[in-house]
């Protein structure tokens, strides 16, 4: 779900940037109640950005609330050269990381410390064929939990970029702005995050054929889904 996809509301038809710009001007002129409308399209992304760092529902919700309050307080400092959505998400990321540091549970992980193979890359799970897992199978809690656990197992910097780009569907440019890193860094982390997900999940999902999700069958009468 993209940030833009949410961005209709009271000014439906305008682009998100124009909508946000108009709302911000009115809020700064004193119509503070409109801040509810400004953040509503992005509140889900704020939560999942915080959750990608904190990995705990209550902590992520607390961080999301604090993010929104800080954005209200500092709205006068927002500069229109960036999107409001990416500015908001960068506040959420900072808030979540600050809470981790405060809780003294920050694990120091960096792209350089992650175990590369001989050529500095990551190897996927090499399989000989793949049969598609249809979205319909997400009705199964077991599948949702497999996916959630796989993302949770990634080092934080990979998890954060994967959540922004592939869960919340921010663009590469927006993800870079929200994370305050270059687009090149986003692409590098994204490659590794995606290959790590494939390496973790492809064998697990393949092994579930006909088992855990076996009640789903495709129209061709396949052995699973």
Partner 1 sequence: MVLNCKHVWAQISDYIEGDVAPELREAIEEHLAHCRHCAAVLDSTRNILVLIADDRTFELPVGYSERLHARLQEEIASSE
* Cα dihedral 78, 83, 85, 87 sign: negative
Q: Which of 80, 105, 144, 223 binds partner 1 (CB under 8 A)?
A: 144
Using CB under 8 A as the binding rule, whether residue 69 contacts partner 1 is answered as yes
> Do 196 and 122 contact (CB within 8 A), yes or no?
yes
Instruction: List binders of partner 1 among 41-60 (CB under 8 A).
Output: 43-44, 47-48, 51, 57
| Cβ-count burial 17-53 (b if 16+ within 10 Å, e if not) | eebbbebbebbeeeeeebbebbbebbbebbbbbbbbb
Closest separation in Å from C-beta 134 to partner 1: 9
Give the helix ranges, DSSP H, for 132-182. 141-152, 156-162, 172-179
Q: Which of 103, 138, 153, 210 binds partner 1 (CB under 8 A)?
A: 138
Q: Which is nearer to partner 1, 77 or 108 (CB)?
A: 77
Using CB under 8 A as the binding rule, whether residue 126 contacts partner 1 is answered as yes
Binding mask 16-35 for partner 1 (x = CB under 8 A): ----------------xx-x
Q: Which of 63, 151, 160, 176 binds partner 1 (CB under 8 A)?
A: 151
> What length does the chain have?
225
For 214, other C-beta atoms within 10 Å of its C-beta total 13
Encoding tokens for residue 201?
A: 């999940």
Of 178, 173, 151, 171, the C-alpha closest to 162 is 151
Q: Name the DSSP class of 34.
A: G
Distance, in Å, from the CA atom of 225 to the CA atom of 222, rounded to the nearest integer, reads: 7
Q: Which is nearer to partner 1, 5 or 18 (CB)?
A: 5
Q: Name the DSSP class of 115.
A: -
Q: Which is nearer to partner 1, 86 or 175 (CB)?
A: 175
Q: Which of 4, 59, 109, 169 binds partner 1 (CB under 8 A)?
A: 169
Residues that bind partner 1 (CB under 8 A): 1, 32-33, 35-36, 39-40, 43-44, 47-48, 51, 57, 61, 64-65, 68-69, 72, 119, 121-130, 132-133, 135, 138-139, 143-144, 147-148, 151, 162, 166-167, 169, 172, 187, 190-191, 194-195, 197-198, 201-202, 205
């Amino acid at each position: 779900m993209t940030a833009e996809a949410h961005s209709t509301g009271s000014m439906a038809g305008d682009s998100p940037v124009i909508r946000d710009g108009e709302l911000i001007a009115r809020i700064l002129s004193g119509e503070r109640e409109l801040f509810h409308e400004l953040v509503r399209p992005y509140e889900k992304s704020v939560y999942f950005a915080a959750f990608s760092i904190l990995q705990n529902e209550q902590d992520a919700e607390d961080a999301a609330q604090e993010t929104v309050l800080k954005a209200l307080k500092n709205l006068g400092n927002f500069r229109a050269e960036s999107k409001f959505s990416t500015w908001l998400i960068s506040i959420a990321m900072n808030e979540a990381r600050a809470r981790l540091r405060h809780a003294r549970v920050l694990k120091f992980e960096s792209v350089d410390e992650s175990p590369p193979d001989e050529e500095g890359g990551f190897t996927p799970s090499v399989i000989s064929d793949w049969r598609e897992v249809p979205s319909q199978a997400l009705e199964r809690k077991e599948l949702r939990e497999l996916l959630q656990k796989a993302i949770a197992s990634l080092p934080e910097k990979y998890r954060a970029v994967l959540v922004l780009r592939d869960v919340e569907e921010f663009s590469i440019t927006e993800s870079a702005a929200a994370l305050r890193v270059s687009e090149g860094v986003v692409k590098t982390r994204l490659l590794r995050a995606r290959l790590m997900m494939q390496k973790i999940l492809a064998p697990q999902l393949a092994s579930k054929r006909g088992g855990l999700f076996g009640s789903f069958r495709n129209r061709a009468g396949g052995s699973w889904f």
